[in-house]
Chain A
Amino acid sequence: MTSLRYMLYQLRKNPLSIIGIVIILTFIIIAIFAPIIAPPPEGHIDPYMIPRYGYSPIPKPPSEGHIFGTTEGQYDVFYGVIWGTRSAFRVGLIVIGTVLAIGIVLGSIAGYFGGVIDEIIMRITDIFLAFPILILAMAITVALGPSLDNVIIALIIASWPAYARLIRGDILAVREEDYVEAARGMGGSHLRIITRHILPNSIYPTLVMASLDIGAVVITAAALSFLGLGAPVGYVDWGQMISWSRNWIVGPPGNPLAYWYTVTIPGLFILFFVLGWNLLGDAFRDILDPRLSRK
């Protein structure tokens, strides 16, 4: 408890981390109140599909009805970026949540029991870690068939090993502590020792890392959608919205920035979303690293 209070105190002292918290809170509010901020037009069936206002390929600049303009195919940019916040949270939270669960189970088994089982689990993680994440995720998505759900599955498969390793390492560090010995001596079962004594004392850094990794996951998912392997056409997704702007980077002669809104606005949403998590992460890392913080 003291360390939590100490952490909050440190967080408050660091202006950058406050900016991070504000950014994340703003996005949470946007995600929750999406139906109020950008109400779907009447008769629109699926709110997770961006409404279209015509079929012309040429983007239209911001106007009264569409404050961020419309992009290629007349998809409303404002609606897309607001509802896209929900997709970003969904992908980030599902991937990180699942990866944490897998990591905790396999990491504790490997770290606690050691021996052959540890060796097997660690060699398996070695294999997955032999690939750059984007490449592995792309290969898996292609093998499963491109869709947003398969992007989520691919990201989970590509990122669990890092967590399993981290948790294993942290468990190794506390496995031989006196209080674990004591629990063992009192006849506690393995499950009880792991969940009641070891995990509460070793899981902290992993949880922090997980919360920061959400930004990285969202960037990779957006990249996959941008490359045409993720969200179905028309789905509220920031990466896909940027891919629609690819043909409109350069405007007509004499007005080269005519279509700036198609690429700039969705990109800024991704940038700020990821920046929020990273600012928070940087602050956490400084606080958790005792060599740097308690001088």
Chain B
Amino acid sequence: MELRAYIVRRLLLIIPVLFGVTLLIFALLQLFSPVERVALYVTNPRQFASVPDMIAKYGLDQPVWVQYGHWISQIFQGNLGWSKVVSQPVTSAMLNFLPATLELAIFATPLIIFGGIFLGSKAAAHKDKAIDHATRLGAIVGYSLPTFWLGLMLLMVFYGLFTGLFPPERLSTEMNIVVHSEAFTQYTKLHFLDAILNGNGRVLLDSLRHLVLPVITLTIVSMAFIMRLMRSSMLEALGKGYILTARAKGLDESTVVSKHARRNALIPVLTVSGYIFAGLVNGVVITETIFNYKGLGWWFWQSAVNLDVSGVLAFALFNGVLFVITNLVVDLLYARIDPRVRLGGKVT
């Protein structure tokens, strides 16, 4: 019963936050002139001919609260404006670029989570041994690496030194033609998955080759973060009484570490998964830019450097909402796992 009350309370709490998120984006929008803001209501380039009419039509010369009403109702209708960098409506641009970014996330997320948890608990279980020092140093260096520089260095070595081993972009020119040919059906727009579904080994190999470097770049920084957290959380768990009990009753060390300590140490890691998501989004923008990998992050960067308001703000809004929802899911999971949360810390 308490869990349901908690969920309801938590759901009600995100309404003001989401409202605030739209207000913040709208406030940024007010820094632009009405002529620039018209781009948000355009769904077709031919409409640009009648800019003054549109300013009047969408009330861009009216008081701000009226404008906010117009703006938010347009968003609920799925109209986020015109993205001039790709010459299509923002909504369709985002849908077109989403699969590429998903493809990166599908490979990077498990690596980040399982790699970080594994290495972190390994380091804690062997505290102050060589493996602990190595992973710790690795984590600190990984955490200090500028993502954009790491990506360029990887390109220098694996694209330059080993000529063309792992190239940038999503597909080679040749395979791009294959993918867009009649014979190849794009079921999901995720190239590796489509290649499997079409039974085309060459496209599969090519798309995987293009994924290696961006996935590594994306993984290293976020993984270092989890590794560090997992190590300290694991150290704390290993010092608890139930570990002593487990050891005292003669369980072997690997069972103690993996069954007793690690499971409890995972809770703090779960609570920060929202931040991992944020890190992933930050990383995606930079990684896609470096590797010229045309996904959402690349499009956001293009919109930003071309000062394309509608694209930038739409992506920021999309991320804000997604982040709020991610944190909600994390909190609910957390409440499900740890009864102290939903009972307001009354059980000790």
Q: Residues on A close to B: CB < 8 A?
A: 16, 123-124, 126-128, 130-136, 138-144, 146, 215, 219, 222-223, 226-229, 239, 242, 245-246, 249-251, 256-257, 260, 263-264, 266-267, 270-271, 274-275, 278-279, 282, 289, 291-292
Contacts and interface: CB of A to CB of B under 8 A. Distances in A.
B115 to A, nearest CB: 20
Interface in B163-210: 163
Given A227-B286, A228-B305, A249-B152, A128 B24 contact: yes
11 contacts: A126-B16, A134-B281, A141-B304, A143-B31, A226-B146, A227-B289, A239-B146, A250-B160, A274-B144, A274-B146, A282-B136
B149 A271 contact: yes
Given A223-B286, A256-B160, A275 B149 contact: no
B107 to A, nearest CB: 20
B321 to A, nearest CB: 8
The CB with the most chain B CB atoms within 10 A, among A134, A142, A256, is that of: A142
Contacts of A270: 146, 149
A123 B16 contact: yes
B234 to A, nearest CB: 11
B35 interface: no
B40 interface: no
B232 interface: yes
Given A142-B307, A246-B152, A289-B232, 12 more contacts: A130-B324, A132-B279, A132-B282, A134-B282, A143-B31, A219-B144, A222-B148, A227-B289, A260-B156, A263-B152, A267-B146, A270-B146
A11 to B, nearest CB: 16
B110 interface: no
Given A242-B152, A256-B163, A260-B156, A126 B301 contact: no
Given A130-B17, A242-B148, A271-B149, A138 B236 contact: no
A136 B316 contact: yes
A139 to B, nearest CB: 4
Interface in B124-147: 136-137, 140-141, 143-147
Given A142-B304, A142-B307, A275 B156 contact: no
A134 B306 CA distance: 17
Contacts of A264: 153
The CB with the most chain B CB atoms within 10 A, among A131, A132, A250, A282, is that of: A132
B161 interface: yes
B17 A257 contact: no
Contacts of A128: 24
A86 to B, nearest CB: 18
B323 A143 contact: no
A127 B17 contact: yes
Interface string B259-288: 000000000000000000011011001100
A271 B324 contact: no
Contacts of B304: 138-139, 141-142, 227, 229
Contact of A271 (B16, B145, B313): B145
A275 B146 CA distance: 10
B319 A229 contact: no
A150 to B, nearest CB: 11
A250 B147 contact: no
The CB with the most chain A CB atoms within 10 A, among B140, B141, B152, B282, is that of: B152
The CB with the most chain A CB atoms within 10 A, among B136, B146, B159, B323, is that of: B146
Contacts of B315: 135
A263 B319 contact: no
Contact of A131 (B149, B301, B319): B319
Contacts of A279: 140
B300 A278 contact: no
Given A136-B316, A250-B159, A144 B149 contact: no
A142 B315 CA distance: 13
A278 B155 contact: no
Contacts of B324: 130
Contact of B160 (A144, A246, A257, A267): A257
A135 B159 CA distance: 29
Contacts of A124: 20
B316 A135 contact: yes
B344 interface: no
A128 B55 CA distance: 30
The CB with the most chain A CB atoms within 10 A, among B21, B137, B156, B159, is that of: B156
B145 A130 contact: no
B311 to A, nearest CB: 9
B235 interface: yes
A-B interface, 8 closest residue pairs, ranked by CB to CB distance from nearest: A127-B20, A267-B149, A256-B160, A250-B160, A132-B278, A134-B282, A274-B144, A275-B144
A227 B305 contact: yes
Nearest to B143: A278
Nearest to B154: A249
A275 B141 contact: yes
Contacts of A146: 305, 307
Contacts of B220: none
Contacts of A132: 278-279, 281-282, 319, 323
B153 A138 contact: no
B230 interface: no
A226 B148 contact: yes
